[in-house]
Amino acid sequence: MNQALVPRSRSIVRRAMGAHSAVWRVDGVLLVAVMALSVIGTLLVWSSTRTWAAGAPTGMVKKHILNLAIGWVLCGIAMLADQRTLRIYAPAVYGVSLLGLLAVITPLGSTINGSHSWILLGGGFAVQPSELAKPALILMLSALLAEPARGADRPRPLDLLLCAAAAAIAMGLVMLQPDFGTTMVLAVITGASMIFAGLRKRYIAGLAVLAMAGAAAVWLFGLLKPYQIARFTAFINPANDPRGAGYNSTQALIAIGSGELFGKGLFQGGQTTGRFVPEQHTDFIFTVAGEEFGFLGAVTVVALLGVVLVRGLRIARQSDERFGALVVAGIVCWFAFQTLVNVGMTIGIMPITGVPLPFVSYGGTATFANMIAVGLLQAVHIRERPF
């Protein structure tokens, strides 16, 4: 036997055994929570689209299941990624995401629901590059913040400037669509990544002032469309314009309140069946949970999302790699912010923005981005202990 082949063979065997053992070191609680949310989301999408879905009552839900299947494949691929590899290719991933955002503002882009955020692929499928920009920006920021100066445990001013520049480019391209909801998510991801990296208090204060100045500039220079401003302010008092800007908030509260404690039952929601709440399968899917599953069902959805966040924080705390911990922290803040905004806008405590509920709302690219993020969480968790 050729002795030169022996080390190579042993290396292949070790990698195969490592990959097999890695499967048994995944965070099972996290996966079960995501699976449960996916099942609940599928039922809610089915209920909210069965009366109008094109082709058949199950048309939209079949497409949603296909998106979930693709998402789980992407999750598995991301799960196998090594942190060192992710860190090396983070700039390339970020660059590709920028190309996608640039493509949207060319003739390749299409407008759906007032936002020029999509690239149509045909066959009823479309890609929303701004959703994929979320994990891409997290990887880029984590790579920039992973190595502080020698002898220091905080990022250097140069690192912060590079992070601000990377975030500003992505956020600027998203605002051109315009997609204010995604821009807010990217801003939160950026601020959270810097804070978790050890940003000094005076820099945090400066970042807060800069964020407020940016929000004021968006408002004063008319970067938002009139309908976006109306949606953003309607939550203060929806009764002022119940048939206009306050319509969504009013109908959402009626739908959730009508479910009472135990709900009306799956497919039995009058608000859902009558389509009184717009975009009920995407941005307002939490109203379906409240109406048909009741208070207990709505709390269950929030609790499962809470499990995802808690497990993510646990992974970040146990990670011995700074890059991996920052990636996880960024993902947790992304999911937490979207959950807060989505649930909050349906119960009248947050402005209405186009932010989907993670793992529950209908959506192709958003589902892919969420599942890639779960795969990244698992990748960090798998490698936080030696083989």
- SS3 state of residue 155: coil
**pLDDT tens sequence across 222-275:** 666 666 666 666 666 666 656 665 777 888 888 898 888 999 998 888 888 877
Question: How far, CA to CA in Å, does 200 sit from each of 156, 203, 204, 205?
Answer: 10, 5, 6, 9
Closest CA to 86 of 383, 386, 385: 383
**Is pLDDT larger for residue 384 or for residue 303?**
303
As given in the structure block, the two tokens for residue 317 are 């705390």
Q: 């208090």: which residue's tokens?
A: 201
Cβ(96)–Cβ(170) below 8 Å: no
**pLDDT tens sequence across 292-346:** 999 999 999 999 999 999 999 999 999 888 999 999 999 999 999 999 999 998 8
Q: Where are the domains of the chain?
A: 27-382
Structure confidence at residue 309 (pLDDT)? 97
Structure confidence at residue 278 (pLDDT)? 82
Query: Strand order of the sheet with strand 125-127?
Result: 109-112, 115-122, 125-127
As given in the structure block, the two tokens for residue 75 are 């999750």
Residue 90 has pLDDT above 90, yes or no: yes
As given in the structure block, the two tokens for residue 378 are 């698992």
Question: Cβ contacts of residue 34 below 8 Å, gap of 6+?
Answer: 308, 359, 371, 374
